[in-house]
Amino acid sequence: MERYSIKPDRALFLARYQEKNIGFATIINQAPAPDNANKETIALLQDYACGTGLMVLPEFRHKGVASKLVLQWEIWATQNHLSGIWLITRKMGDWYQRFFHYSLHGTTIRNGVKKTILTKALRQLHPNQK
Which tens digits make up the pLDDT trace of 66-102? Answer: 999 999 999 999 999 999 999 999 999 999 999 999 9
110 pLDDT band (50/70/90 cuts)?
confident
- Burial of 30-60, coded b for 16+ CB within 10 Å and e otherwise, reads ebebbeebeeebeebbeebbbbbebebeeee
To which CATH superfamily is domain 2-129 assigned? Gcn5-related N-acetyltransferase (GNAT) (3.40.630.30)
pLDDT at 4: 57
The span from the CA of 74 to the CA of 52, in Å, is: 13
pTM tops 0.95: no
Contacts of 57 (CB under 8 A, 6+ apart): 22, 23
Give the number of other CB atoms < 10 A from CB of residue 116: 20
Report d(CA 24, CA 43) in Å as an integer: 29
| Distance of alpha carbon 56 from alpha carbon 90, whole angstroms | 16
Q: Which sequence spans correspond to the domains of the chain? A: 2-129
pLDDT at res. 130: 47
